[in-house]
């Protein structure tokens, strides 16, 4: 009525990727590049303006509500903020059991399974089950979040910065818990983080995002051995290291990402890129295969024959 749309933000634009079962796909990028939006799009918590979403071959966007409810059991999300992601009025037992009640399980069974799962993620249900979220620490809350996401026995778990709000020692515990659970339950992870160390540690394949677009994809190994895109290189160079010989003198990347309402023409990274060429302003570069499981969207590699850049160079 009295509303006007001033501008559209293309938070996620032309991102296309596959997740194979039982793998961990890491998605990395700096703050505000659209990672969380992507997570919510994958789970259809927000509807994309365009594009397709397939789960085990099924078009998720075409699913009617009853089918969608069934599909939701197979894909769950662990949130970033351990504080906003738990209802302050529910005991953690009830918070975990809620999803089961939604799917029509009897109350007693739901509670029993919730308690068992809380025990599995390291929270003794006798001690913690009847507690409220504000009585738990950040790490404990994140364990509750993981239990809540797992209680429906999903196949795909999207983890949106699951450890970013935790301190390092707790991060390690939660990451180990996640990898154990993945083996136990044959889970597939989409792991979103801005922390390259974490991504390298957990992922089999990595997707590097910049301002809503994919700039490089590849196996975690290929990417860390020979990052191609200038942005990926900068990310690796800026990751803190324990090696004093690799100490940084100046930041490899300066400035903030441009305004997503009005992104630069052509390659979105060109405004901060050390190798920017006139060509970069004209049209966005397409993803170009650099090896068996490695692709980059950058004009620097336009002429290089794909074969010579294969893994092992």
Partner 1 sequence: MAIRAVGPGESPDVVMAESLPPAVALVPMSYWRTVAWRLTRDRATLVAGGVLLLIVLSAVLAPWLAPYDPSAGSIRLRLASVGAAGHPLGTDEQGRDMLSRLLWGGRMTLIAGLTPVLVAFVVGAALGVLAGYVGGLTNTLVMRTMDIFYAFPAVLLAIAISGALGPGLPNTLISLSIVFIPRVVRVAESATVQVKGLEYIAAARASGSGVIPIVRHHLLANVLGPILVFASTQVSLSIILAAGLSFLGLGVTPPAAEWGLMLSALRQSIYVNAIVPALPGLAIFVTSMAFNLLSDGLRDAMEIRA
Residues interacting with partner 1, by CB under 8 A? 1-3, 40, 43, 45, 68-70, 72-73, 75-77, 79-81, 83-90, 95, 98-99, 101-103, 122-124, 126-128, 130-135, 139-140, 143, 145, 148-149, 152, 173, 176-177, 180
Q: Judged by CB, which is closer to partner 1: 79, or 301?
A: 79
What minimum distance in Å lies between the beta carbon of 159 and partner 1? 13
What minimum distance in Å lies between the beta carbon of 134 and partner 1? 5
Which tokens hold the place of 30? Answer: 């700096």
Q: Judged by CB, which is closer to partner 1: 80, or 219?
A: 80
Which strands form 213-219's sheet, in the order they lie side by side?
A: 75-78, 156-160, 188-193, 24-28, 205-210, 213-219, 294-296, 288-291
Give the sign of the dihedral formed by CA 222, CA 224, CA 227, CA 232: positive
Q: Please state whether 284 falls in left (phi above 0), alpha (psi between -120 and 50) or beta.
A: beta
Which tokens hold the place of 149? Answer: 């996401």
What minimum distance in Å lies between the beta carbon of 41 and partner 1? 12
* DSSP 8-state symbol, 158: E
Q: Judged by CB, which is closer to partner 1: 54, or 70?
A: 70
Taking the CA atoms of residue 290, residue 291, residue 292 and residue 296 in that order, the dihedral angle to the nearest 10 degrees is -30
Q: Judged by CB, which is closer to partner 1: 61, or 130?
A: 130
Q: Can you list the pairs that 282-288 forms with residues at least 24 positions away whose Cβ atoms lie under 8 Å?
A: 284/213, 287/214, 287/217
What minimum distance in Å lies between the beta carbon of 44 and partner 1? 9
Backbone dihedral angles phi then psi of residue 174, each to the nearest 5 degrees: -65, -40
CB atoms within 10 A of CB 221: 16
What minimum distance in Å lies between the beta carbon of 305 and partner 1? 44
Q: Judged by CB, which is closer to partner 1: 84, or 283?
A: 84
Q: Judged by CB, which is closer to partner 1: 128, or 210?
A: 128
What minimum distance in Å lies between the beta carbon of 122 and partner 1? 5
Residue 11 neighbours by CB under 8 Å, 6+ apart: 34, 37, 212, 260
Q: Judged by CB, which is closer to partner 1: 42, or 215?
A: 42
What minimum distance in Å lies between the beta carbon of 85 and partner 1? 4
């Amino acid at each position: 009525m009295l509303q006007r749309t001033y501008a559209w933000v293309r938070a996620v634009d032309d991102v296309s990727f596959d997740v194979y079962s039982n793998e961990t796909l890491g998605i990395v990028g700096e703050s505000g590049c659209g990672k969380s939006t992507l997570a919510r799009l994958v789970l259809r918590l927000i509807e994309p303006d365009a594009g397709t979403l397939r789960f085990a071959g099924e078009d998720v966007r075409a699913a009617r509500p009853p089918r969608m409810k069934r599909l939701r059991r197979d894909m769950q999300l662990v949130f970033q903020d351990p504080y906003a992601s738990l209802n302050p009025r529910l005991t953690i037992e009830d918070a975990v059991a809620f999803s089961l009640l939604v799917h029509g399980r009897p109350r007693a069974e739901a509670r029993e399974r919730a308690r068992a799962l809380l025990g599995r993620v390291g929270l003794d249900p006798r001690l913690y089950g009847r507690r409220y979220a504000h009585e738990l620490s950040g790490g404990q809350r994140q364990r509750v979040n993981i239990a809540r996401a797992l209680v429906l026995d999903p196949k795909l778990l999207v983890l949106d910065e699951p450890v970013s709000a935790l301190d390092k020692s707790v991060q390690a515990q939660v990451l180990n818990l996640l990898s154990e659970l993945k083996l136990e339950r044959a889970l597939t992870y989409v792991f979103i983080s801005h922390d390259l160390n974490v991504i390298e540690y957990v992922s089999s394949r990595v997707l590097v995002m910049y301002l809503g677009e994919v700039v490089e994809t590849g196996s975690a190994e290929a990417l860390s051995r020979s990052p191609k895109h200038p942005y990926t290189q900068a990310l690796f160079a800026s990751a803190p290291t324990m090696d004093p010989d690799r100490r940084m003198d100046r930041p490899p990347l300066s400035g903030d990402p441009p305004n997503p309402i009005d992104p630069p023409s052509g390659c979105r990274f060109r405004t901060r890129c050390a190798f920017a060429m006139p060509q970069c302003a004209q049209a966005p570069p397409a993803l170009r295969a650099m090896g068996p499981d490695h692709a980059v969207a950058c004009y620097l590699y336009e002429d290089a024959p794909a074969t010579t850049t294969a893994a092992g160079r």
